[in-house]
Every structure is written in C-alpha cells, then in structure tokens.
Chains A and B, each alone.
Chain A
Amino acid sequence: MKRLLSGNEAVARGTFEAGVKLASAYPGTPSTEILETIAEEYPSIYAEWSPNEKVAFEVGIGASLGGARTLVTMKHVGLNVAADPLMTFAYTGVGQGGFIVISADDPEMHSSQNEQDNRLFAKFAQIPFLEPSDSQEAKDFMLKGYEISEKFDTPVMLRLTTRISHSKGIVEESDPMEPRAVGFKRDMEKFVMIPSNAKKRHVVLTERLKKLAEYSETTELNTVEENGSEIGIITGGISYQYAKDNLPDADYFKIGFGFPLPLKKISKFIESHKRVIIVEELEPYYEEIIRAAGMKVEGKKYFSRLGELSPYKVGLGLKEAGLIDEIKGAEIEAGPLFPRPPVLCPGCPHRGAFMALKKVGVAVTGDIGCYTLAMLPPLQTLDSCICMGASIGTAIGMEKVGGYDKGVVAVIGDSTFLHSGITGLLDAVYNKSNITVMILDNRVTAMTGGQQHPATGYTLMGEKTRAVDFTELCKALGVESVRVVDAYDLKAMIDVIKEEMARPGPSVILTNRPCVLMPKRIMDRPYVVDPELCNGCTACFRIGCPAIMPSKEMTKRNKPKAVIDPVLCTGCSLCAQVCKPEAIVLAEEPVSVK
C-alpha cells in the first residue's frame, strides 16, 4: 500500500516491518514522532520514554543482548548524553538482535542549541551510518540497517536531519516480519569491558571496520547514477534532492552508507569524470575523507558550513562553480515587515514565573524547554542556556564565585529536571550552594509536543504508572526548603522567590500550573480590555501574550490601546494583575461599570 509518510513515520514503519521488539527514546525535535508513531500504530512493539538518552541507549543494549531487534532514537544533542554507552557498545558489538540508534540532526537549529553533524560521531565511535534522502529510503534503510547490524555484529546509526524527519513523501509499505527475541547468550569476553577484554575487542573493532569498508564498496546503498555527463556530483541525504533539483542530468554518486566510505568506488567515479563536486550539508565530512585519500574534488568552497542547504543555496554554489549559468531567485521582493517572534503561548504558566523573576532582578540560569523562550522580547529574563540539565550546575558555579550580587535562580522544567537535573541538585546540597532552583512543573514534556515522563503518571503506551513526587524527591536529595507556588499568582511568586533567596542553603520552588495546551487545552473565562479605562501604558504588552494586541484605537497621547482576542485568551489573569488602571476585566463583567 502507498501512504504519504514523514521520514519519522517511515522509520516507525521500518521498525515494524523489521520485526523490532523494543524501542526506547527521550523526546527531542526532530526525532520525537518516531516513538509516538510506534506507540500509536504498532503497539506490538514495546516502546518507552526513558528519563534521558543515556538510559534509553542502555535499555536498548539490554534488549539487543536479550536477542531482540532494537531501536533507540534521539536528536543530535541527545547522542552527546548517550555517548558513554555508545563508545563502548561499538567495542562489544550487539547481542543476537540488531541495534539501530537514530540520530536526528537539526541543521539550521530550528529547535536546538547547536547544529553538530553526527556523521562525525559515527566515525568517532567507528560504527557504520546510513543516511536516507527521503521517506521511502528512511523506511528501506531501517530494514537494511538491521541486516548490517546482525551481519557485522555492530550497532548501526541511522542519521536523519530535520528536513528528512519532518518532510512527507510517498512510501510503499511491505508486510512485517514477526518480532522475535532469540534470548541472551552469555559471553563475558564480549560484553564485560574490563580493560583486558576491551583491549581484545578494540582489535575486533578495527577488523570489523575493514569488512565494513569492503561492504561499502558493493552495497546498493551507495549508488552511481549515470546520465552520460562529464560532471559528477557526490552527495547524500537531503543534499541529493537539492542537487537533483538544480542539475537533474549530471552523474551522481549517491551515498547512503556513509561510514566507512567506499573509497575505491568513489575513486573510479572521480577518474571517469572531468570534474567532481561534493554537495553536503554542514561539515565537509565526505570531502575531508576523500581528499585525505588523495583524490581531487571540490566541495565546501562553494557551499556554506552553516545551517541547512536548500535548492536555492545549492543552486548558488553550483553557479559559483560554473556549472549553472542562471539561477532563478525571487521575482517579487517582499520588502521589510514587522517580525513575528515565537512567544510563550497564551496562558502559559511559565509567563508568571518569568514576570516574577524579572521583577526580583536576579540572574537566571536556564535550561532546555519552552521556557527558553523567556529570553526573547519582551520578557528577556534568561541569562544562560547550554544543554539539558545545565541550569543548576551553572547556577552553583556562578553563586560560588559571587558572580551576581542579586543572587542566582536556576529554572528547569519537570521533564528536564528528571532527565539530568537531579544530579545537579544533589551537587547543590552536597557542596552547600546558596541557590534557588525553580522547577517549572507543567506536568508534561511540553516543548516537543506533550510527551509523558516519570512524573506524569502514564507511560508512552498509555498505561498508568507510579508518578514521582517532586517534593519528596527534592527532600530526599537533602533540600530542606521545598515550596509549592501558583504560577498565576504574581505576588505570591515574587514573595516566595524573595523568601527563598534570603534563606541560606539550596532551596526549591515548584510551580503547580499545568501546560495550557496538553494533554487537553485549558480554557477559563476570557478577559477583555475596557477601552474607556485603557490608558495605553503598554504594561500588558510587555508580558508577551499573543492574545493581547495593539488595537487600532488610540489614546489622546496617540498610543495604541490594548485589545484581547477572546478565542486565544485562556483567562490566566496575569495581564489583569499588571494593569494599573484596572482596564482588563472578565468578559462577562459589565464593561465600564466598576
């Protein structure tokens, strides 16, 4: 059957067709929908959200040792978290079940803090990687990946990028294999990496690489497309499509199996063409290896190392290389226009927390989640954001050197705290830090679209489970003061922050309002602006709520009055709390009658 599937949905389908028995992950854009699709469409596969990528990877190792085909998924930066087990699992090789780890990279940083190219990670760990260029290949390469993993006794990386994960294309589906687990076969020399065993396995790893290099020369994952052209293009992943859009009739060396590279086959391709250009996104990964092998190619001098490529950018590069005469650009100019920056949702409980932090004026170390949006105008109340779980450690360091006299507050979401914040908080207690940690608990992994985690009380597969109690957890870590506060009560938030900042030793403030969008959109009675009372002071605009807009009506001093969109307003009341003339009132209250 033919279906229109995103790359992520196609990977999920591939998992099903390959007879995978276990899939584990921590959500992260652009990888999240893989496990969501598995849980929804293929419930015969056990699927779990793990607290972080390291744990997800280790769960996957166990399943592979247990003899089942296994999938572990994460975004590019997630692989940094899972790097520890990855590097050693490359040594041991897999159990009797094949193992694929997905790295969904995010060129252009649509939703990420860096744009690392994880093809380099596969080379670093010395494991093969496959790189699909559309949804159909995303599915097909999964099946191929398990064959390679089992044949060569190695974990395999399937490398996606945002444009592959989130684009849709037509996929031809096949019948699934039966999931199976052939069981655990004890082999201490292979799986117990004490130094004496690891030394032997390092030898196995290098021998395996030689075999993989031979396989790379013959596999149909690396294809040559002959069109009788003197010009050859070496490319892979989404870059292949961008190159084809520009030069449909050139000859192509399309790389689907990217480590180790098929250098002999590439050499033959280069020799039989007058000129060969490499088109690849982000790092000059192919180019450096091919050049190091002494071959003459051109590449990154025509294409940026920054951000995503596009048909247009690839066209510009090919034009610069002299392969295209003219590339079409915009025929009509858009001209300057106001920006529409992303903002916290209407009614988002994080807004109250950041309004309070801004008022108190402390340094705020941030973390990865929706609340990172608090750094954008107009709130602009976030001083750092490094990686998952970094807020607490960063706050400890800043406080220890007296870096900011008004004190430091670390903000971290519920899911992020469970991912890698717990150890940071343990450090704050153990090393006697005077920081305050705000756990912005909105009861869901919101940034990635609302996934469950160990404190929500539900598993990915929809079963009820035991939920972590944050107050008890923090107390057990040794935090003496744990306060719960209503994120919609601005005065209470400010008071509690001040009190906890004044207290010596580490303290925790938990906010208690759930995400307004998930699992179900929360709507209360909407507020409206009484235009008679609005004096155009802009206090409500400065909280950055998308439901509040400047109206066409002006005050006497020619300032726009505020107006609230009743469809967007959730009734959180924060704007009413900052409105000095009390012009923001509940919709059903008679307007202008106070």
Chain B
Amino acid sequence: MNEVINVLIVGVGGQGVLLASEVLSEMAMKAGLDVKKSEVHGMSQRGGVVSSHVKFGPKVYSPIIPYGQADILISFEQAEALRAVDWIKKDGLIATSRTRLVPPITAGGKFKYPDDPVADLKKKVKNVIAIDADKIALELGNPRLVNILLLGVVSSRLDFEISVWEEAIRARVKAKFVDLNLKAFARGRELAKESAGAAV
C-alpha cells in the first residue's frame, strides 16, 4: 500500500462511532502501517453528531481528512451519511445503516428530515451500500452491534487479512462481547458480498 487511505465514520452520539474507529485503527497498526485518528464532536454525550477520522498508510501527517478526500464513509444513521458526503471522493464507497433518528428540532416544521436519505445518497454517489443494520443487529442478539456489522461490510473492500481484523476486535471490544462482535463482523462481510453486484 503506497497511498494513505482515509476513512470517515459518522453517527449520532451513543451509536459506537468511537469503538468502530478504535478497531479500524488498531487493525491498521497491527498490519504494520502508520495510523492517525481523530474525533470531531460537540458537547453532548448523546444526541449530537459524532464523527471520527481514521487515516492509515506508510506515513500519515495530520489526523484530519480534507474535504473530498475520504475513500470510505461509514455511517450509522442514514441522514448523517448525507450530511457527510462532501468529505467523500467521487468514486469513494459509502456504507450506511438505514437507521432513522429524527431529532426533536424537526417537529416545529422549520426543518425537515428527508423522506428517503438513502435514495438521495444514491443520486449523489455511485457506490452506496445501505443495510438494515438495526434489524440485523437485533437478530444477532444486540442492537449495539450496528458499528461492527458495518465495519464487516467495509472490510470486504480493504485488502487486509481477516485474522488482523479479528485480532483488533479482540483487543478493543470488552471480553464478554467479543464472540458476538466477531459474529457481527462476519455477517457484515456476507452482506457486502450479497450487495457487491448492486453497489459497485
């Protein structure tokens, strides 16, 4: 790998953006690359927008991805993917959950939550994988698996050994949740295969 790969992970506070970026960074370090990552978030513990920039390659300088330079955008909320599209490269990949989190501020009529953010996304970007992550995570046994599930989806487009990913998950996820997260990761990879024809 000669180039720096930029991955932007976005979601709403409490959805596990930080854990996903930890796992991804740990994986890249274990694969022998230079890594930097940085979070950009507001004051709220919950309910505000959270994003994490992860960059890896032979040598990484700043921990921030410039606009239009993200190779991959991972989003845990469908409208938040739309908010972040100005970070993605034209031929970049977006993997998003269809999760719909409508803030109270849209109730007054001044602001509107889009009817179908994924459709809007697909009008703008060619490579979009949208999955019902909430539903699948629940089927797997825990609504909090959405983040690792999507990481599994994205892993299929990155050239790293599965064992390195799994090692990173073991290092970063609490021991009692490791097996469940490994299952979610594998399920994500399957989903990516299923959607391969449609998305890319």
On A, residues with C-beta under 8 Å from B are 2, 4, 110-111, 134, 163, 166-170, 238, 241-242, 244-245, 248, 310-312, 315, 328-335, 337-343, 345-346, 370, 372-373, 377-378, 447, 517, 538, 541, 544-546, 548-550, 560, 562, 567-568
Contacts and interface: CB of A to CB of B under 8 A. Distances in A.
Given A245-B66, A312-B67, A544-B104, A163 B47 contact: no
Given A4-B25, A329-B68, A343-B44, A541 B82 contact: no
Given A4-B29, A168-B38, A332-B125, A340 B105 contact: yes
Given A110-B42, A311-B66, A346-B46, A331 B103 contact: no
A38 B46 CA distance: 26
Contacts, number: 165
B47 A342 contact: yes
Contacts of B79: 337-338
B36 A169 contact: yes
Nearest to A563: B102
Contacts of A329: 67-68
A338 B37 contact: no
B106 to A, nearest CB: 5
A560 B62 contact: no
Contacts of A111: 42-43
Interface string B56-68: 0000111111111
Contacts of B166: none
B107 interface: yes
B86 A342 contact: no
Top 4 A-B pairs ranked by shortest CB distance? A342-B44, A330-B86, A546-B47, A338-B111
B67 A545 contact: no
Given A333-B86, A334-B83, A343-B44, A328 B38 contact: no
A248 B61 CA distance: 9
A345 B41 CA distance: 15
Contact of B45 (A328, A517, A560): A517
A244 B60 CA distance: 10
B85 interface: yes
A115 B69 CA distance: 28
B105 A339 contact: yes
A317 to B, nearest CB: 13
B85 A332 contact: yes
A544 B48 CA distance: 12
Nearest to A562: B107
A245 B62 contact: yes
27 contacts: A110-B41, A168-B35, A170-B35, A242-B62, A311-B64, A311-B65, A311-B66, A328-B68, A331-B90, A334-B86, A337-B114, A338-B112, A340-B49, A341-B48, A343-B44, A343-B46, A343-B103, A346-B46, A370-B45, A373-B43, A538-B107, A538-B108, A546-B104, A548-B104, A549-B102, A550-B102, A550-B106
B68 A330 contact: yes
A341 B105 contact: yes
B36 A167 contact: yes
Could you say which of B48, B69, B103 has the most chain A C-beta atoms within 10 Å of its C-beta? B103
B29 A170 contact: yes
A241 B34 contact: no
Contact of B25 (A168, A447, A545): A168
B147 to A, nearest CB: 15
Nearest to B102: A549
B191 to A, nearest CB: 22
B76 interface: no
B104 A337 contact: no
B177 interface: no
Could you say which of A111, A334, A340, A550 has the most chain B C-beta atoms within 10 Å of its C-beta? A340
Contacts of B87: 330
Given A241-B61, A245-B62, A544-B104, A4 B69 contact: no
Given A244-B62, A328-B69, A340-B49, 6 more contacts: A110-B41, A311-B64, A343-B46, A346-B46, A373-B43, A548-B104
B125 to A, nearest CB: 6
A332 B104 CA distance: 28
B93 to A, nearest CB: 13
Contacts of B34: 170
B157 interface: no
Given A332-B124, A334-B82, A337-B114, A342 B68 contact: no
B135 interface: no
Contacts of A372: 43
Contacts of B74: none
Contacts of B89: 331
Contacts of A342: 13, 42-44, 47-48
A331 B114 CA distance: 22
B47 A345 contact: yes
Contacts of A331: 68, 88-90
A167 B29 contact: no
A246 to B, nearest CB: 9
B47 A166 contact: no
Nearest to A311: B66
Contact of A377 (B44, B61, B68, B105): B105
Contact of B64 (A310, A332, A341, A541): A310
A567 B47 contact: no
A236 B102 CA distance: 42
Contacts of A310: 62, 64, 66
A245 B57 CA distance: 13
Interface in B114-152: 114, 124-125, 143
A99 B36 CA distance: 30
B45 to A, nearest CB: 5
Contact of A549 (B44, B60, B61, B104): B104
A549 B103 contact: yes
B163 to A, nearest CB: 18
